[in-house]
Each structure stands twice: as structure tokens, then as C-alpha cells.
Amino acid sequence: MLKELLMASASVSTFGVASVAQAVTATMAGSLKIGAEFESADDSTQDSNTVMDQSNFNISLSETTDGGTTISSSFEIVDESTVAADDDNAIKLTFTDGSALELLNAGNAAGTHDVAVPGAAGEQGVGGTTTNAAPGDLDFASVSTALGVEWHSAADFLADGLKMSASWSTDNGAAKGATARLENSWGVGATYVTSAGDTTLTIGGGVASGEVVATGVTATDKSGVNIGVSAVTGDLTIGIGYGDGDSFVGNNAGVAVNQTVDGSVMKVGASYVTGDITLAVGVTAGEGKDYTMGTPTTADDSNDSTSASVTYAVASGVSAVLGYTQVDTSNEGSSSTDGGSAWYVGATMSF
């Protein structure tokens, strides 16, 4: 009996210690998207249809020290036919004055302040095989390596409505090889929010640059700028953005040689909310020149798309989506068959 009492006492003591152990605060979010896409590609004599089944699960971790500094990070699991983990999870320190510092996988400050231009919802797209190098994202030149840091100012930095960021990254110190890679990068960016009557204006953008290295070739720098403006008046949001710069493609990415890509892209979009319905439209026009590093060319690639969607809020966290996209392309200065059109009808459940 004494032995049993001692064991019970030890168990209670152990559970007592465990019950007061501290853990960071965790929150979760995610979504499930399921629908059907109907695609008519220009390079095919037969239309295709695909069931789109996508899900993501995000965990955010956060805790505050006795000194008031918040330590946070997050990770995401994405299931798009194959399950993958998002490892771009920096450690973020947010200080009592509102400024913050991200350590490791920090990103590029120019991309941080890329203004979100409204665009169509849905998972429709044209998946033709192509070597077209025209960019589609405003911050296509804003890249970084995993070993990097990014500083964020507090709100109302230097002026009401202004926030700024600066970043720097470097590689792992390995010797450069035959495949071109980014060796280091830096970026600066800013976002300014102000009001004009009943309209809220957001102006943002940044400048980024990085050094690209490889053996046996004339490597190039990767650099660019992006700028955008969005205006929100009641239920109407309108945005426009522009990006310009140089990028690169390493020879292990489906091309026989290291390539330089000189590109630019413009995006325009609008969305309008009326009751439970959201109407959205977006236009993207991208141009790019891709050529062997050190051998410039004048032949242009282009990728132009127009998309529209209707989203209906069926219930809390549940939306029905109908979307359409039309894509027109050219490759090396000539019209190509890499474009086409696509419809999507589906539902999204978010939590």
C-alpha cells in the first residue's frame, strides 16, 4: 500500500509540473478549395477539364517576453495534389515601439511593399508548355536568399501613414557553379496610406538588387523596381501597379544555358462588393527578353491576360466562385499558341 501511495504521489507531482509548463500562443487558419476547371488551350485541338482540389493549413506562433518584445513565426502545409510545407518561416521580433526585425527567410523589402492590385478569384489558368519569359508579378525582381534579415519601421514613421522596410541577404558561402544563382541581395520599400475625401489611397513600392554568380558565363545583377496605387471608396476598390527589372533563369530550370531576363509588367484591377456578391476583374500585361547571359537580344516575349469572377457568400466562411481567364502570348517576337482560355466553377471553405 505504501508503494502505491508513493507512486500516486509521484504521478501527481509530475502532472503538477506539466500543468504549469508554458507554451507559445498558437492560432490556426486555412481553407479548402474544390471545383472544376474547363480549359481551351491554343496549342491543343481538344478541350480539357480538371477537378481542382486544394487545401492549406497555417499555424501562427507568438509569445511576448517580460520586456514587451513579441516573438512570432508561422508555417503552412499546402496540398495541391502533392503535400508540401512552406519553409519561408522567419523568426520575427516586434518591439515595444512598433518596429520589427525578421531573421532568416526574411524576404525582400521591395516585395513586402508590393501593393495588392484586385484580381479575379478562382483557380482558372492556361497551362501550356512554354519558354515565355514575360513576368506576371510586380515584384518579380525582388528576391532573397534564406540567410537574410529585414527591418520594418513602426507605423507613422517620419510621417503619418508611412511605413518603411529594408532587407539584406547572403548565400551559404558555397563556391559558385555552372548554374547561375543569387549570391546576395538588398531591398528597400515603403507604403503610404492617406485619405482623399471618402477615398482611402494606398501607395507602395520598392527597389531591389542582387548579385547573380556562375562559373564560365558573364553573370548579371538581378534588380528592379515596383510601384502601385490602390483606392478604396465604399465597396469599390481599384488598383494599378507596375514592375520593371532584370531577372535570371539558371540552366537547371528547363533551359540549356543560364539566361538573363529583362522584363516589365503592368497590372490593373477592380473589385466591387454588393450584398453577398463580389465582382472582380483584372488585367495583366507582361513583356520580357530572355537571352543567354552576356548576349543581349531584342526579341520580345509577351504574356497578356484578362480575368473576371463572381463570388457569392453562401454562408459564413463558405463562398461559391465562378471565374474566367483569357491569355494571349507571343514568344521571341512571334505570336505563339501558349495562350487560351479557361473557366472555373467551385467553392471555398475558410476557417
Identify the CA nearest to 27 among candidates 59, 70, 63.
Answer: 59
Under a CB-based contact definition with an 8 Å cutoff, are residues 212 and 223 in contact?
no
Confidence of residue 86 (pLDDT cuts 50, 70, 90): low
Above 80 in pLDDT, residue 298? no
Residue 103's contacts (CB-CB under 8 Å, 6 or more residues apart) are 90, 91, 92, 93, 149
Above 50 in pLDDT, residue 234? yes
State mean pLDDT over 94-109.
93
Above 50 in pLDDT, residue 272? yes
Residue 203's contacts (CB-CB under 8 Å, 6 or more residues apart) are 115, 191, 192, 193, 194, 227, 228, 229
Residue 201's contacts (CB-CB under 8 Å, 6 or more residues apart) are 193, 194, 195, 229, 230, 231
Above 50 in pLDDT, residue 11? no
From 24-33, 76-85, 115-124, 306-315, the region with the lowest mean pLDDT: 76-85
Domains of the chain (ranges plus CATH)? 26-350 (2.40.160.10)
Residue 82's contacts (CB-CB under 8 Å, 6 or more residues apart) are none
Above 90 in pLDDT, residue 322? yes
Distance between CA 141 and CA 249 in Å, rounded?
A: 12
Question: Cα-flanking dihedrals φ and ψ of residue 6, to 5°?
Answer: -65, -40
- The CA–CA distances, whole Å, from 206 to 2, 113, 162, 167 equal 72, 7, 13, 11
